[in-house]
Structure 1
Amino acid sequence: MNAADITALIEAANRAPSVHNIQPTRFRIDDERTITLLEDTSRRLFVGDPEGKDNQKSLGAAFEGLMLALAAHGFGADIEKLSGAGALRETARIRIATGGVADALEPLTHTRASYRGAFAPPTEADRSALAQIAETCPDLHILQGADALQHVGRVFDDASMEVLRAPAYRAELLSWMRLSPKHPDYERDGLNAAHMALSPIEAFGAGLVLGPKAFPALDSIGLAEPLISESGKVGSAAGVALFHRPTDEPEFETGRRFYRVWLEIERAGLALCPMSVLADVPHVAQRLMRENGIGSDRKLVTAFRIGRRPSTWKQPPRTRLPVSELIVRAA
């Protein structure tokens, strides 16, 4: 493969979901047949994810994206897992081989995107699609019905308030939010206002509400939770899916599966919005698993609210770092 081919592969791999769109995956081109995946350990949620588990999921998703892109061109790969250290930590080495078989999910990598606004009213076709997803993805436990969605919406708001009351967590969250098009990284990484389905006024308000002075003051008089509440958007969904995997599964492998599950939801014609705080707060995750009969041999990875985008919605351009910044030159 030539340099242009490998660059195209890396661009395809970087279409994979990345937690908070941090994009920690880097690619070292060792030769025309070998690519090493590395983690840029400076790009991590040091407060929200101190152990780097979300980064490992993001690396796994990027790896799966690379495998899908290779297979689309008739290639496979021999894979060597690595346990590196340092600022650029080696994670996996891919030696490109022949014999790949195209995957039906690969075309969906070009259009996959989260949707963070309120969904269109669910139809019977949407509910049928959810039933098909549940059959295809046994690691999704799907909740439907007004009462179930109202309950999980309340749990989500309570969990969000629990983490947002920590000033360091709020500051870190804001550092990855791009609330104004004037932000230098608005089109590069993080969560920008367009992708969060926020109007300019809503984006400005979010920055104020989550600020170091306003949030405690609003919280003290009971106004913070109504202002950050997502329960209405949860209630608009066709369903909420709890994504669970074996407890002992490495986070890298969980990330690979995470990407494929997301693509299955896209293939069903539906969109999703991650509700990661439900898994990030241990007692909340345990409660949801217990309430829904998910065994202790499983871990709650995340939750999604799933539905159909309104017909008037226009998907913003993908927010990604340029490929040139993802490639690490071999020493």
Structure 2
Amino acid sequence: MLHPFATHVGVRRLVTAAVAAPSVHNTQPWRFRLDEDASVMDLRADLDRGLPVIDPRGRALHLSCGAALFNLRLAIRVTGHRPVVTAFPDAAGEPALLASVRAVDAAMPSPGEAELYATIPHRRTNRRPFGAKRVPQVVRDELVTAAREEGAALSLPGPQTTAYLLGLIAAADAQLAADPAYRAELARWTPDRARGDGIPWYAFGPRPTGRGLPLRDFGLGAPDAGREADDFDARPQLAVLLTRGDGPPDWLRAGQALQRVLLTAARRGVSASPLSQLLDARAAGPAEPRPYGHIQAVIRLGYGRLVPGTPRRPFPEVLERV
């Protein structure tokens, strides 16, 4: 079977799948490089696309790149090859080099792998209100398994823990909104003109009223004329992604786990959006030992209307050939 790196069309298909991954503020902080003999594809962090206010340690950047890495692995897998990933192959010399990926012959993908790959173009971050229907236990169990397969854990908190988390997120959201540096950083990634990155106005969702779910308001500083407001659901279903450690390898692993969870959810018709303010407000703090793991993502789950996708950078901007 033709090697997935052998042709321009094959490489473009892989990179197109990879860059469909979600990223913090849709910054798309990744670059790919194919070596001269087309045997290795490197994933590099695009550090110029970092967010120094909410992500000074690069945690969210690594999660974003991890999500792209999972999509790349899946795209290789459906060609009848197995991705062989070396994470941080030169951690001391090139810390921005996050992974090197080879593709070796393997059996054809399972139906589940093929379905996850087919879901990549349809996964969306949904910042609109969700309906009252609850995510059934069988799907919740599948999401837990998806995280575990990538070396992470997914906790599904009950009502009391959910209320506690929402209180912390609301306080963090208020803290961030009062910070001029945060508002300026957010404004850089919420463009009022068409471009290939950032969160466009149509993806903001309704303006949160502050009486319900503490969803991030991407419209801070933008005129609210014509933009609807909503309380959202005060009792959302949350999922919390955790890892044992809290360093770059854990963040890259968490990004892959997050994307497997999000694709599994989308495959089952479940909408999802992040509630990241708590992590953003604590981003500059040191990683403290935690007996139950380090939170890497808080996700809102439910059933919502279809929403459009956000833009992506052109293929030539993200791929480099040696």
Alignment partners' CA distance in 2, 1:204 and 1:168: 14
Deviation at 1:90, TM superposition (A): 2.3
Is 1:162 the counterpart of 2:154? The answer is no
Deviation at 1:166, TM superposition (A): 1.8
Instruction: For 1:305, give the aligned amino acid.
Output: R
Match of residue 140 from structure 1? 154
Match of residue 278 from structure 1? 278
1:197-219 CA-to-partner distances (Å, cap 9, x unmatched) read: 249xxx99632489xxxxxxxxx
Is 1:110 the counterpart of 2:121? The answer is yes
User: SS where residue 49 of structure 2 aligns?
Assistant: coil
Do the aligned residues in 2 keep the contact of 1:3 with 1:32 (CA within 8 Å)? no
User: SS where residue 28 of structure 1 aligns?
Assistant: strand
Taking a change above 3 Å as real, the CA distance of residues 198 and 192 of structure 1, as seen in their structure-2 partners, is farther
1:174-200 CA-to-partner distances (Å, cap 9, x unmatched) read: 21113x3xx142xx111112222249x
When normalised by structure 2's length, the TM-score is: 0.78
Deviation at 1:271, TM superposition (A): 0.9
Instruction: For 1:299, give the aligned amino acid.
Output: H
Unaligned runs of 5+ in 1: 211-226, 286-293
1:260-291 CA-to-partner distances (Å, cap 9, x unmatched) read: 121222233211110011233349x9xxxxxx
Alignment partners' CA distance in 1, 2:11 and 2:91: 23
Do the aligned residues in 2 keep the contact of 1:19 with 1:55 (CA within 8 Å)? yes
Do the aligned residues in 2 keep the contact of 1:140 with 1:242 (CA within 8 Å)? yes
Taking a change above 3 Å as real, the CA distance of residues 177 and 318 of structure 1, as seen in their structure-2 partners, is closer
Taking a change above 3 Å as real, the CA distance of residues 152 and 6 of structure 1, as seen in their structure-2 partners, is same
Is 1:304 the counterpart of 2:315? The answer is no
Deviation at 1:149, TM superposition (A): 4.9
Q: Which runs of 4+ in 1 moved over 4 A?
A: 84-88, 147-151
Deviation at 1:300, TM superposition (A): 0.5
1:43-77 CA-to-partner distances (Å, cap 9, x unmatched) read: 10011111212111111211111110000111113
Q: Which has the higher helix share?
A: 1
Taking a change above 3 Å as real, the CA distance of residues 206 and 280 of structure 1, as seen in their structure-2 partners, is closer
Taking a change above 3 Å as real, the CA distance of residues 316 and 39 of structure 1, as seen in their structure-2 partners, is same
Q: Of 2, 11, 35, which residue of structure 2 is paired with 1:6?
A: 11
Match of residue 211 from structure 2? none
Q: Of 105, 113, 134, which residue of structure 2 is paired with 1:98?
A: 105
When normalised by structure 1's length, the TM-score is: 0.76
Unaligned runs of 5+ in 2: 1-5, 208-216
1:128-168 CA-to-partner distances (Å, cap 9, x unmatched) read: 355434653562222344x6655543332211011222211
Is 1:83 the counterpart of 2:90? The answer is yes
User: SS where residue 206 of structure 1 aligns?
Assistant: coil
Equivalent pairs counted in the alignment come to 290
Alignment partners' CA distance in 2, 1:189 and 1:160: 23
Instruction: For 1:160, give the aligned amino acid.
Output: D
